[in-house]
Structure 1
Amino acid sequence: MREPPQDSTSRPPDSPRATDVVFTADFASTRQWVAGRSWAYPGGGPTNPADNKLDHLVSDPAYSRQGRFLARRRPDGRWNAGLLTTEESQEGFLVRAGDVLEARVRLPREIGAWPAIWTWRDGDQEIDIFEYHPDNPDLLELSNHIRDTGHYYRHEAISPGAWLDLRVEFGARSVVWWVDGIRAFSDGRGVGSRWHAYLIVNLSVCAGRYHPPPQDGVNEMSLQVTRLVVRRPRGRTAH
């Protein structure tokens, strides 16, 4: 990922336009979310070794349905892991250009954890609200893969086990990321006016090529997401 210049202010992220909440995550809802499969993984999963992941996706509600996304070591060396997506759910919610996503998360502590909130549709349309690796303890990865832009954002508030408030504005001309009320990055490229994509929340596990794998004796890790909402400029349709 390229590292463009820092674009950071300390003012709170106020929206200049009236917005409506069009999506409030209820991770227990089987109408909102599908558990344990995603077409972002080859064949819909359950594994994705080409991305150097040890995940083995499971639909067991204990791994994702309480907003606590778990990964647990398996006897075969892989990790059962939780993933939820709005893709192919009954409601089929899509984030759209102009939307604003807000989330509150608690980062994992364990080396090898690879948590993320991101978007996906038809093999592309990926915006990473955040990715995190505890071996880079003070750094979040913020990426617009559609336009090949991104930023490594460092801050003392970012650390293993930390709570963070995240906000992403999916602008047609610029995607803007906020972390704890600080404007962390504006990519100046955007998503285009017709962009739309599904949401994914998951906890992957690193296999060692890009980041260290889990240490011996570590058998469980978790990502917590206590709030995830999407706001939309007033007057636009919800789907």
Structure 2
Amino acid sequence: MRVFTADFSSTRSWVAGRSWAYPDGGPENPGDDKLDHLVADPEYSRSGVFRARKRPDGKWNTGLLTTEGSEDAFMVRSGDVLQARVRLPEETGAWPAIWTWRDGDQEIDVFEYHPDNPDLLEFTNHVRGAGHSFRDDAVHPGAWVDLRTEFGVHSVVWWVNGEQVFADRRGVGHAWHAYLIVNLSVSAGRYHPPPEPGTTEMSYEVSRLTVSPPEAGTH
């Protein structure tokens, strides 16, 4: 049975500070309203705490890990179930996410979060054009949240804290597969407010992340 358990410290499983979801692999992506300057420094991602720190030039050193380009080259596939436990960031401008990417597309957002919308999680299937904004009192800056995403052939299904909250009825199709990305971005201000003056650091944590076939991931 193929079960992937994330060990963020593993250089076989994860590449730090580079992603082809960013122009030329990074380190910056201003076109997506990000102040990010990706860094490979393990302090920014390898512990499972994803950090961002302000630079003198106004950009932010940010942590990103991806399975793309790694020795193991793990990919999420149709039917897989991803489960994660995350601690949401508190600072305005923080933009954490778990998502997929391959060949300029194949993006499924397990979650995105912006503290200026403190009770809202965003879920998006960019492959087949579906999405949902979920509000709940258990979602707030600093909260621990349990996430589950089922990458179904005919429907991608999102769960939060053990409850199903959205099924898109679009799915990913039989042949879908994509690399996994975990990162903390920083908003530049076009879609969400940038960091407040005086903020120089922010972080969010992923304490657990697994990907498994449906029979292993079923409640």
Give the drift of 1:57.
Answer: 0.1
Q: Is the 8 A contact 1:21 1:229 kept in 2?
A: no
Give the drift of 1:233.
Answer: 4.3
1:212 & 1:182 partners in 2: Cα distance? Answer: 30
2:80 corresponds to: 99
1:175 corresponds to: 156
Residue 184 of structure 2 is aligned to residue 203 of structure 1: yes
* TM-score, with length taken from structure 2: 0.97
Q: Identity over the aligned pairs, expressed in percent?
A: 71
Q: How does 1:86-235 map to 2 (within 5 A)?
A: 86-233=67-214
Matching residue's letter, 1:77: G
- 3-state secondary structure, aligned to 1:82: strand
Give the drift of 1:21.
Answer: 5.3
Residue 40 of structure 2 is aligned to residue 59 of structure 1: yes
2:136 & 2:180 partners in 1: Cα distance? Answer: 26
Give the drift of 1:204.
Answer: 0.2
2:191 & 2:129 partners in 1: Cα distance? Answer: 19
Change (3 A) 1:183 1:234: closer
Q: Is the 8 A contact 1:139 1:154 kept in 2?
A: yes
Cα-to-partner distance string for 1:137-177 (whole Å, 9 max, x where unaligned): 00000000011100000000000000000000000000000
Give the drift of 1:232.
Answer: 1.0
Matching residue's letter, 1:126: E
2:18 corresponds to: 37
Q: Can you give the 5+ residue segments of structure 1 that lack an aligned partner in the other structure?
A: 1-19
1:110 & 1:197 partners in 2: Cα distance? Answer: 30
Matching residue's letter, 2:34: K
Q: Can you give the 5+ residue segments of structure 2 that lack an aligned partner in the other structure?
A: none
Cα-to-partner distance string for 1:106-137 (whole Å, 9 max, x where unaligned): 00000000000000000000000000000000
Matching residue's letter, 2:74: F
User: Which structure would you say has the larger Rg?
Assistant: 1
Matching residue's letter, 2:72: E
Count of equivalent residues: 216
What RMSD over aligned residues (CA atoms) do the two structures have, in Å? 1.0
* TM-score, with length taken from structure 1: 0.89
Matching residue's letter, 2:10: S
